[in-house]
A and B are shown apart, each in its own frame.
Chain A
């Protein structure tokens, strides 16, 4: 009966649900749907008064709603990924499976490749460094996939189109020229 809660959802179910976040957040309280600004708020909370970087000197309490939203996303991840976990591996295309075997990436039962997401020096180093690029880039661009690709494009904002083009160009480059060679470092 609850099979649909364990199974992954097809794109035509999950896509519209993600898109509904845009009018939903507007309706709840005139908020722009987006998640990456929370990284800035967290820095603002952690910033010691003595250092005082201008970019993090603002009243983060006005953005409490956003931090609550992020907390919800963490809880939602726990529910969907642990309580209602999908017992099967991701149903990838044959082309992708072939590519991953060329890359020396094992396809486990899980959601993420263990070599990259488990606790080893190498994986933590790579994930941290990639995270630095994600954090730096999203704040420089003023948004991530949710704020620019979903909210920005669906409210027809030209700046977001520029950001999405940049995001895709950067992602194409690293996914084709960096990531395929990454896994030889692990073995």
Chain B
């Protein structure tokens, strides 16, 4: 029961990934060639809504989670090069396969062979990072 909200949130997320066409390879190529406003509209309105939502949440006198804990916004770990270099490497892959991790999961649910191959690759890439982490600039 404790996990039900996460399952429903994930379900909504996966559903929107498909319905927004953010999981479409065509849409991602169209975005990287600035040929449509669609993906930029999604990103901009998502960030604006997230920002507004978090601001409203903080407005409550004592914001509480579903389980009654005080809400604390998790901070990203400190670092510099890892964000930039990691971003570039991820972007290089994204610009070819047209899928970021969210769509990979939702397309696996659609039974896409290509997404399954991408998931297998992403797991290997993650493993590889874990093995060489200490030798990389962070």
User: Which A residues contact B (CB, under 8 angstroms)?
Assistant: 8-9, 11-12, 14-32, 35-36, 38-40, 42-43, 46, 53-56, 64-66, 68-82, 90, 92-93, 95-96, 99-100, 107, 111-113, 116-119, 123-124, 126-146, 148-157, 159-160, 162-176, 178-179, 182
Tell me what chain B mostly uses at the interface: helix, strand, loop, or mixed: helix
- Asked whether, in the complex, the Cβ of B97 is within 8 Å of the Cβ of A127, the reply is yes
Given A74-B109, A141-B87, decide whether A176 and B129 contact each other with a Cβ distance below 8 A. no
B92 neighbours in A (Cβ, 8 Å):
133, 137, 170-171, 173-174, 178
A29 neighbours in B (Cβ, 8 Å):
5-6, 65-67, 69
Q: Which 3 A-B pairs have the closest CB atoms?
A: A72-B10, A131-B121, A170-B91
- Asked whether, in the complex, the Cβ of A117 is within 8 Å of the Cβ of B109, the reply is no
- Asked whether, in the complex, the Cβ of A117 is within 8 Å of the Cβ of B25, the reply is yes
Q: How large is the interface on B (under 10, 10 to 19, 20 to 34, 35 or more residues)?
A: 35 or more
B46 neighbours in A (Cβ, 8 Å):
15-16, 18-19, 150, 154
B26 neighbours in A (Cβ, 8 Å):
90, 92, 96, 100, 107, 112-113
Question: Bound state CA distance, A127 and B108, in angstroms?
Answer: 13
- Asked whether, in the complex, the Cβ of A137 is within 8 Å of the Cβ of B87, the reply is yes
Q: Which of B69, B90, B113 is in CB contact (< 8 Å) with A167?
A: B90
Tell me what chain A mostly uses at the interface: helix, strand, loop, or mixed: helix
Given A28-B66, A169-B91, decide whether A81 and B106 contact each other with a Cβ distance below 8 A. yes
- Asked whether, in the complex, the Cβ of B97 is within 8 Å of the Cβ of A172, the reply is no
- Asked whether, in the complex, the Cβ of A173 is within 8 Å of the Cβ of B56, the reply is no
Residues 66-110 of chain B: 1 if any A CB is under 8 Å from the residue's CB, otherwise 0? 110101111111111011111111111111111111101111111
User: Which B residues contact A (CB, under 8 angstroms)?
Assistant: 3, 5-30, 32-33, 35-39, 41-54, 56-57, 65-67, 69, 71-80, 82-102, 104-115, 117-131, 133-134, 136
Residue of A nearest to B108 (CB): A74
Given A27-B66, A65-B6, A111-B21, decide whether A142 and B50 contact each other with a Cβ distance below 8 A. no
- Asked whether, in the complex, the Cβ of B47 is within 8 Å of the Cβ of A145, the reply is no
Q: Which of B11, B20, B25, B39 is in CB contact (< 8 Å) with A79?
A: B11
- Asked whether, in the complex, the Cβ of A169 is within 8 Å of the Cβ of B88, the reply is yes
Question: Bound state CA distance, A153 and B15, in angstroms?
Answer: 23
Q: State the Cβ distance, A19 to closest chain B Cβ, in Å.
A: 3
Residue of B nearest to A141 (CB): B86
- Asked whether, in the complex, the Cβ of A72 is within 8 Å of the Cβ of B95, the reply is no
Q: State the Cβ distance, A170 to closest chain B Cβ, in Å.
A: 2
Q: Which of B18, B75, B93 is in CB contact (< 8 Å) with A132?
A: B93
A77 neighbours in B (Cβ, 8 Å):
14-15, 17-18, 23, 105-110
Question: Bound state CA distance, A73 and B72, in angstroms?
Answer: 25
